[in-house]
Amino acid sequence: MRHKVDRRKLGLPSDQRRALLNNLARQMVRVGYVQTTHGRAKELQRIVEKLVTQGKKDTIPARREARKILVGHSASSPRPENVLAGKTDAEKLQILKERSLLNGEDLVRHLFDNVAPRFKDRPGGYTRLTKTGQRRGDAAPMAVLEFVD
């Protein structure tokens, strides 16, 4: 029996699971949708719904709570200016096309200024989870999590 079992473990240790879900939440806020496995999407949905609710409050404590998830404190991730240092203009354009530099505090600001105001009159249910079939390699059930418009 699964009495009082709160979350999925996703086959990962707790620190890796937390990092995975935080990265997926960042991607969701940045782009507006995420395609991943169904179990990960269901766990991510809980986190993103809470982030949008915090974003609707727009208080300093709400920003601090959102910052815990959206701002990574990883020492191994290079800062944007370090990635672009010493590159030619063509290389800089290629790097900027490949990855979004909307990270950290800019991502928190994006959540509070752009994403959350879209749902100010909605009491909940900010995301939609759609099953998309099975992954070709291992037949894992896939899903797309997106914001409701």
Q: Which of 22-26, 36-40, 59-63, 78-82 has the lowest mean pLDDT?
A: 78-82
Please tell me the distance from the alpha carbon of residue 124 to that of residue 2, in angstroms, as a whole number: 27
pLDDT in tens, 79-136: 555 667 777 888 877 766 665 567 788 899 999 999 999 999 999 999 999 999 999 9
The helix/strand count (H/E) of the chain reads as 6, 3
* Phi, psi angles (nearest 5°) of residue 101: -95, 15
Question: Do 35 and 112 form a contact (C-beta atoms < 8 A)?
Answer: no
Residue 146 confidence (pLDDT) above 50? yes
CATH code for the domain defined by 14-147:
3.90.1030.10
pTM of the model: 0.79
Torsion of CA 106, 109, 110, 113, to 10 degrees: -160
Domain map of the chain by residue range? 14-147
